[in-house]
Structure 1
Amino acid sequence: MPGDPQILWRRLDRPGHDACRIRSDMNGQGLDGVAVWLDGGGPAHLSYIVTCDEAWRTRSARIQGRAGRRDLTLSIHRDDLGIWRISGEEVPELNGLQDIDLGFTPATNTLPIRRLRAQSKDSAEIGAAWLDPSDWTLKLLPQHYRRLDTGWHYASGGFEADLTVNADGFVTDYPGMWIEEDAHGRS
Structure 2
Amino acid sequence: MAGDPQILWRRLDLPGHDACRIWQDSSGQGLDGVAVWLDAAGPAHLSYLVVCDDVWRTRSARVQGRVGQREITLSIQRSPEGDWRIGGEEIPDLHGLQDIDLGFTPATNTLPIRRMRASGSDGGDLAAAWLDAADWRLKLLPQTYRLAGDIWHYASPRHDFAADLSVNTDGFVTDYPGLWIEEGADGKP
Q: TM-score, normalised by structure 1?
A: 0.97
- Trace 1:121-132 onto structure 2 (pairs within 5 A): 121-132=121-132
Partner of 2:171: 169
Q: Write the distance in 2 (CA, Å) between the matches of 1:50 and 1:126.
A: 19
Q: Write the distance in 2 (CA, Å) between the matches of 1:130 and 1:26.
A: 28
Q: Deviations over 1:55-85 (max 9, x none)?
A: 0000000000001111000000000110000
Partner of 1:2: 2
Structure 1 unaligned blocks of 5 or more: none
Q: Write the distance in 2 (CA, Å) between the matches of 1:107 and 1:186.
A: 21
- Which residue identity lines up with residue 184 of structure 2 in the other structure? D
Q: Write the distance in 1 (CA, Å) between the matches of 2:70 and 2:150.
A: 38
Q: Write the distance in 1 (CA, Å) between the matches of 2:188 and 2:138.
A: 34
**Aligned-pair identity (%):** 72
Matched, 1:37 2:34: no
- Which residue identity lines up with residue 37 of structure 1 in the other structure? W
Q: Once superposed, what is the RMSD of the aligned Cα atoms?
A: 1.4
Partner of 1:66: 66
Partner of 1:82: 82
Partner SS state of residue 81, structure 1: coil
Mean Cα displacement is larger for which, 143-152 or 51-60?
143-152
Alpha-carbon distance, 1:52 to partner = 0.2
Structure 2 unaligned blocks of 5 or more: none
Partner SS state of residue 43, structure 1: strand
Partner of 2:17: 17
Alpha-carbon distance, 1:150 to partner = 1.9
Mean Cα displacement is larger for which, 119-128 or 50-59?
119-128
Alpha-carbon distance, 1:182 to partner = 2.6
Alpha-carbon distance, 1:54 to partner = 0.3
- Trace 1:103-122 onto structure 2 (pairs within 5 A): 103-122=103-122
Partner of 2:184: 182
Q: Write the distance in 1 (CA, Å) between the matches of 2:127 and 2:15.
A: 29
Q: Write the distance in 2 (CA, Å) between the matches of 1:41 and 1:182.
A: 28
Partner of 2:53: 53
Q: Write the distance in 2 (CA, Å) between the matches of 1:95 and 1:178.
A: 30
Q: Write the distance in 2 (CA, Å) between the matches of 1:150 and 1:65.
A: 35
Q: Write the distance in 2 (CA, Å) between the matches of 1:145 and 1:60.
A: 22
Partner of 1:28: 28
Moved >6 Å (runs of 4+)? none
